[in-house]
Amino acid sequence: MLPMIGIIQLCGFLFLHIFLTNAISRFMAGTPLNPENLPNALAAVAEGDKKFRMNIAVALISHVSIIVLSGLLYLTFSPYKKSLEMTPRATPESIEEQQWIRMNPLNK
């Protein structure tokens, strides 16, 4: 198991990795395909089929990184889950009760 600092550093690396793979994917995609002019759009894909396949691979890597990042963030913040569950929720009744306690002269 990785120490907490290692997990946090890995999360930071994955954030950067996701940004870079998205930028590369956007650069490789070029202009979006025009569905109105389908024959020309398919011809453009056929001309750059290697670039299109690489773009799909980079996008898949980016999406897998997002899934891994969400799991790592869950592991990172799991020790704090119990303390967050114990915090009181602000319901309308509790807010009114807090205001009454502040305004009641007997509590001063």
| pTM of the model as a whole | 0.61
Residue 13 has pLDDT above 80, yes or no: yes
Domain boundaries along the sequence of the chain: 4-107
The per-residue pLDDT for 26 is 82
Q: Which tens digit of pLDDT belongs to each residue from 19-40?
A: 999 888 888 776 667 778 878 8
**What does the buried/exposed string (b/e) look like for 43-70 if buried means 16 or more CB atoms within 10 Å of the residue's CB?**
eeeeeeeeebeebeebbeebeebeeebe
Q: Name residues whose C-beta falls within 8 Å of residue 65's C-beta, 6 or more positions apart in sequence.
A: 14, 17, 18, 21
